[in-house]
Amino acid sequence: MNTPHQHDLSLVNRGLLPELGLFTTTMLVLGGVIGSGIFRKPGIMAGEVGSPELLLGVWVLAGVITLLGALTNAEIAAMIPATGGQYVFFERMYGPLFAYLYGWAAFAVIQSGSIAAVAYVFAEYSTQFVALPELRGAAATFSFHVPFVGDVTPLEEIGVKGLAALLIVVLTAVNYVGVKFGGLVQNIFTIAKVAGMLLLVAGAFLLPTGGSVANLTTASTAIRPEGLALVVALAAAMQGAFWAYDGWNRISFVAGEVKEPQRNLPRSLLLGMTAAMAIYVTMNLAYAWVLPVDAMARSKLVAADVAEKCLEGGGRWIALVVMVSTFGAANAIILASARVYFSMARRGVFPGFLGVAHPRFHTPSASLVAQGAWSVLLLLSGTFDTLTDTLIFVSWIFYGASAYGVFVLRRKEPDTPRPYRVPGYPWVPWVFVLFSVAFLALTIYSDVSDYLAAAAAGRPAIINSALGTALVLIGAPIYLFYRGRASLPFRAHPDP
């Protein structure tokens, strides 16, 4: 006899087919994590800490902490193998309102903004190979102001935005016609991006680039934070590393379409995140071997500068690697994230048509289209970077809450089968939860300090963490509206 929770899962997963095996789910984890961060963030991070040893230490620590979070969430993913992932988890842990706020934030900014940002980076690097048309004069500079966000210039860089929008449309169509096809695209591009990154590492160490072991131990002559300033600098660098590691949780969104999810979800998280950490640390070793830390701090794209030093024309080659990487990352986000809104619609708290699976392709087709359309609008607005920056803070609230949910579910549902249990319980989840709290506190301190400094200088400023929280809380009245319309606490929409 099915339990109520098992019945709920069957309703949420209905219409979708379990077609993703261990290899594809691992590629989704790895491909969803590795995007543009490893190519863009190391230079900014080097400028924060001023030390190659500290820089490498930050990448290792951020990777270990992220892995602890992934291992903790793997217990929940194996226990609740439902399409929608963390949205469904939060509903079981904390109730429907908290779950809705997460799902709302994912749709409004976190996932759709990530799609827009990654697609933009893809189009930006394509200009290394082809000239994109751009508007001139008043049309290009047309703008209007959005309170608390900034000026919106929809026609600025319209060529880059247009190509990015086309990428979003194409990848949405790929995933519309089948999760298996989307998974195949993911496998191809993840393998290609990893191969390109490993070639860069090999070139850095094997070609006569002038690299030196001294670069790995020589600190900056100008950047020397100490005391509290060093703590804040490390927190800022960690934020950059966490952005590069972000995306590991998306595999839970497609749990209902994974073969043997109780077995494959935990294994894919462990394999994918271990591989990502190894690649990131190795890449940063290669960067630091070739470039002194001060040169890294001045670089906007460390990978391109390293590639150019290794080989003439290497900058264009690394631009191609970035394009392959961001193409695969955008596909992973599009494939996984639409399942959250599909699950919300199945529960009657989002427009009902978003909860219908395509009768032929067995995909959340309407949710994919809605996600793609909203991502394109964010892309054209040019505000996606601002919005996603403000929600890094909120993302870590949800990460910490998800890890603490292991304790909640073990207390609320002690008899529910757990095919996988987090190793090192209770220490592993507690370390991740306490680190999340410390990271959030340092982020608030940094945001307030930046705000006060900007205000003292007469510059307009906002407290990013406060804005991010406010954007999430906007979802509360929307949730109440839908709950008022629902006649049942759980409402599934039948498939045609």
Read off the pLDDT of residues 421-434 as tens digits, 9 standing for 90 and up: 998 999 999 999 99
Q: Which of 160, 169, 68 lies closest to 121 in space, CA to CA?
A: 160
Whether 2 is in a domain gets the answer: no
H runs (alpha helix) in 177-313:
179-206, 228-245, 261-290, 293-298, 302-310
Whether 496 is in a domain gets the answer: no
Q: In whole angstroms, give the CA distance from residue 378 to residue 329.
A: 18
Return the C-alpha torsion angle 419, 425, 429, 431, nearest 10: -160
Judge contact between 272 and 251, C-beta under 8 A. yes
What residue has token string 């590069």? 244
Domain region containing 196: 22-485
Q: Which of 372, 368, 18 lies closest to 177 in space, CA to CA?
A: 368
Whether 189 is in a domain gets the answer: yes
Residue 140 has a pLDDT of 67
What residue has token string 């020397």? 224
Q: For residue 97, give the H/E element and its range.
A: helix 96-105
Q: Which of 79, 102, 121, 173 lies closest to 420 in space, CA to CA?
A: 79
Which residues, given as ranges, of the chain have pLDDT below 50?
Answer: 1-4, 6-7, 10-13, 487-496
Whether 45 is in a domain gets the answer: yes
Judge contact between 334 and 111, C-beta under 8 A. no
Q: Which of 158, 35, 48 lies closest to 442 in space, CA to CA?
A: 48
Task: Give the CATH number for residue 368.
Answer: 1.20.1740.10
H runs (alpha helix) in 152-178:
158-176
Whether 402 is in a domain gets the answer: yes
Helix axes 464-473, 427-456, angle to 10 degrees: 110
Longest dimension (CA), the chain: 70
Number of domains in the chain: 1
Report residue 265 as tokens.
């979800």
Whether 62 is in a domain gets the answer: yes
CA distances to 122, 190, 340 from 322, rounded to whole Å, are: 7, 12, 27
Whether 329 is in a domain gets the answer: yes
- The amino acid at residue 367 is S
pTM: 0.84
Whether 213 is in a domain gets the answer: yes
Q: In whole angstroms, give the CA distance from residue 258 to residue 242.
A: 26
Q: In whole angstroms, give the CA distance from residue 486 to residue 162.
A: 39
Report residue 194 as tokens.
């990893």
H runs (alpha helix) in 425-463:
427-456
